[in-house]
């Protein structure tokens, strides 16, 4: 089969010291340029476990996704998402709301879907490569799976209107991590009332080399990577 794959792990650190969680991920990149991410995210202090499967096309636009969220060993919710043309839809179940469905008509289609996985956050850089300069505003439609900075609600479709997030392009930076040294693109994303966070994404695949969250006061470092990544 004409595909390649890679896998790796990240560690979460609160206040920059001590392990506070981890994310294990694997990615399959298909011959047509589309790719599928599978991520398991663990947040120790929040007692949160999130499983994510996200597929994007060659332009890094979301096709479909699945998010399952557990806190304190209890199901918070489990949802399936689909994006096609003007349609963004979700079929889900949550412990609070029961079975639910959402439909959105998006004039220009959905550009990004934030699943609160670190690798998915790094993929946002691929959509922002065309947004150069000291500052810009996201002028395309995106959704998130939760309104909380730690992704601990939903999961459901949360619309993020164009222009809501502020983008600060910091340019290229070489970053040394436990997994090695990487040339990265550093972008800061500020979302009023939710979070301000920095992403250092490496290579063609936008590897999640390093991330940090102001709201959660956490840093995230890639500690292992193997396979056919670029």
Dmax over Cα atoms in the chain, in whole Å?
Answer: 46
Q: Consecutive sets of 10 residues in the chain, 230 residues long: mean pLDDT of each?
A: 91 83 96 96 94 95 97 97 96 95 91 90 77 52 86 92 74 88 89 81 92 87 94
Q: Quick one: CA torsion of 198, 114, 137, 34, rounded to 10 degrees?
A: 100
Q: Provide the pLDDT for residue 167.
A: 78
Nearest to 64 by CA among 41, 39, 37, 40: 37
Whether residue 201 contacts residue 207, with contact meaning beta carbons closer than 8 Å, is answered with yes
Neighbours of 217 (CB within 10 A): 12
As to burial, measured by CB atoms within 10 angstroms (0-12 exposed, 13-18 middle, 19+ buried), residue 170 is middle
Q: Provide the pLDDT for residue 214.
A: 86
Q: How far is CA 230 from CA 64, 125, 204, 207, in A?
A: 24, 15, 5, 9
> Going by C-beta distance under 8 Å and a sequence separation of 6 or more, which residues neighbour residue 147?
153, 154, 158, 194
Whether residue 205 contacts residue 29, with contact meaning beta carbons closer than 8 Å, is answered with yes
Q: Provide the pLDDT for residue 129.
A: 63
Whether residue 90 contacts residue 104, with contact meaning beta carbons closer than 8 Å, is answered with no
Q: Provide the pLDDT for residue 132.
A: 47
């Amino acid at each position: 089969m004409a595909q390649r794959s890679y896998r790796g792990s990240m560690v979460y650190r609160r206040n920059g010291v001590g392990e506070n969680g981890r994310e294990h991920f694997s990615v399959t990149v298909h011959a047509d340029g589309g790719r599928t991410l599978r991520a398991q995210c663990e947040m120790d202090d929040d007692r949160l476990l999130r499983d994510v499967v996200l597929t994007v096309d060659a332009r890094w636009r979301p096709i479909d996704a699945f998010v399952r969220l557990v806190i304190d060993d209890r199901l918070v919710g489990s949802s399936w998402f689909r994006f096609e043309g003007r349609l963004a839809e979700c079929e889900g179940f949550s412990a609070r709301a029961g079975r639910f469905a959402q439909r959105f008509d998006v004039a220009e289609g959905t550009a990004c879907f934030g699943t609160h996985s670190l690798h998915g956050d790094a993929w946002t850089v691929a959509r922002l490569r065309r947004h150069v300069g000291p500052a810009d505003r996201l002028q395309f439609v995106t959704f998130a799976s939760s309104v909380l900075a730690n992704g601990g609600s939903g999961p459901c479709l949360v619309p993020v209107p164009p222009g809501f997030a502020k983008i600060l392009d910091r340019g290229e930076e070489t970053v040394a991590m436990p997994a090695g040294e990487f040339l990265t693109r550093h972008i800061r994303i500020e979302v009023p009332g939710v979070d301000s966070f920095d992403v250092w994404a490496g290579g063609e695949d936008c590897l999640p080399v390093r991330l940090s969250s102001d709201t959660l006061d956490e840093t995230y470092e890639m500690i292992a990577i193997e396979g056919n990544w670029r």
